[in-house]
Amino acid sequence: MKKTYDYLIVGAGLYGAVFARELTKAGKTCLVIDKRDHIAGNIYTHEIEGIQVHQYGAHIFHTNNKEVWDYLSQFTTFNRYTNSPIANYKGEIYNMPFNMNTFNKMWGVITPAEAAAKIEEQRKASYTENPKNLEEQAINLVGVDIYEKLIKGYTEKQWGRPCTELPAFIIKRLPVRLTYDNNYFNALYQGIPVGGYTAMVAKMLEDVEVRLGQDYLADKAGWDALAEKVVYTGPVDAYFAYKLGVLEYRSVRFETEVLDEANYQGNAVVNYTDAETPYTRVIEHKHFEFGTQEKTVISREYSAEWKLGDEPYYPVNDEKNGALYAKYKELAEGEKNVIFGGRLGEYQYYDMDKVVEVALNKVRADLV
């Protein structure tokens, strides 16, 4: 007997929304469910004091993929936001990524040749053959001044360990730019959806049935009975009831506050690169959309250990978790009517553009 829906999509995040949009366009019937009480997954934004607040961390859309840019532009207009974070080291302000503005402030150098010579001098002065840890590696790449002021404290807060105890491979390259260009991403297309990401996802799901506050795993058999196929974008280990073990994540904790002032820090993203400030970054959401509201909303970001039950943010790309994921992937391939996708379903850090790209490829292949 034919089931009620062609597809059940578990997760109303970006991956699920691309699937739902394309399947509906192709004439398939779908039901989207999410255990949260809102759509859009981790790119969810909601309004506070007229400002779109990025609840699960700042999200800046950037891509070199024109197809992905055009695809999402059907559902939103991107504004002209360009990510130009700044670093605050004990009250000294530096531009990021490391560029001529940074070097001018750090050493007073003016020309690219002077900056290159200074970096070379710094690298040579403290060079270590075969760096054994992140500290030695970073100093080999950019020298002591940049390491001490802009890398050390931030990295130690991010990982919760001294740089001398972190492996060298975490930092393979530290790009330095010998131009006065503060644009963090080298992407051809960049911006923030006008009106927020949630409105963009709502448009994608416009004519799709969505049920919120529904946990697929709480009644898997019941949900499976409704649809011919399942697209699962939740954690792959949870799907298999963690029977091979738990995949690990790094987490982030956000403290969001409404302030009774119009402009707190003059920039959307400020990194605190000293060791003493407990948070890594402060996000001032209104600057993503050039807001002119009377109040402002900020989020302080703290790097956090993760345990099962916490919000999973960044997959841990080490050997142990890689090997465990490979085993879950094998199990997933055995589930014939289930497509595992997205950042949790594939245990992958994906930027938004990549999520759209892989979801489009996957759904098109499934429709053939």
Ligand X SMILES: Cc1cc2nc3c(=O)[nH]c(=O)nc-3n(C[C@H](O)[C@H](O)[C@H](O)COP(=O)(O)OP(=O)(O)OC[C@H]3O[C@@H](n4cnc5c(N)ncnc54)[C@H](O)[C@@H]3O)c2cc1C
Footprint of ligand X on this chain (CB under 6 A)?
10-16, 33-36, 41-43, 57-61, 215-217, 233-234, 252, 313-314, 342-344, 350-353, 355
Nearer to ligand X, 39 or 134 (CB): 39
In whole angstroms, the minimum distance from the beta carbon of 222 to ligand X comes to 12
- Neighbour tally for 246: CB within 10 Å: 14
The residues, any chain, with a CB within 8 Å of residue 110's CB and separated by 6 or more, are 104
d(CA 360, CA 351) in angstroms, rounded, equals: 14
Minimum distance, C-beta of residue 124 to ligand X, in the bound complex (Å): 36
Min CB(34)–ligand X separation in Å: 4
Residue 197 CB, nearest distance to ligand X (Å)? Answer: 9
The dihedral region occupied by 57, where left means phi > 0, alpha psi between -120 and 50, and beta the remainder, is left
Distance in angstroms (rounded) separating the CA atoms of residues 116 and 136: 20
Element (H, E) at 357: helix 352-367
**Type of residue at 165:** E
Residue 261 to residues 50, 290, 296: CA-CA distances in angstroms?
14, 15, 6
Hey, what are 259's tokens?
A: 């302030």
Q: Which is nearer to ligand X, 35 or 105 (CB)?
A: 35
Q: Which secondary structure element, helix H or strand E, spans residue 300, and what is its range?
A: strand 296-304
For residues 14 and 151, what is the distance between their CA atoms, to the nearest angstrom?
A: 32
CA-wise closest residue to 341 among 236, 252, 238:
236
Smallest gap from residue 3 Cβ to ligand X (A) = 19
Q: How far is the CB of 218 from ligand X (least distance, A)?
A: 7
Q: What is the DSSP letter of 147?
A: I
Closer residue to ligand X in complex, CB, 31/146: 31
Residue 7 host element (H or E):
strand 5-10
Cβ distance to ligand X smaller for residue 229 or 343: 343
- Select 217 or 246, whichever has its Cβ closest to ligand X: 217
Per-residue burial over 254-270, b if 16 or more Cβ lie within 10 Å, else e, is beeeeeeeeebeebbbb
Known catalytic residues? 173, 177, 250, 281, 301, 349, 351
Strand partners, 303: 252
**Nearest CB to ligand X, comparing residues 224 and 351:** 351
Angle between helices 66-73 and 352-367 (to 10 degrees): 90
Q: What CA–CA distance (Å, rounded) separates 151 from 164?
A: 13
- Nearest approach, Cβ of 326 to ligand X (angstroms)? 19
Tokens 């070097």 found at = 103
In the bound state with ligand X, the residue whose beta carbon lies nearer, of 16 and 291, is 16
Token duo for residue 227: 């649809």
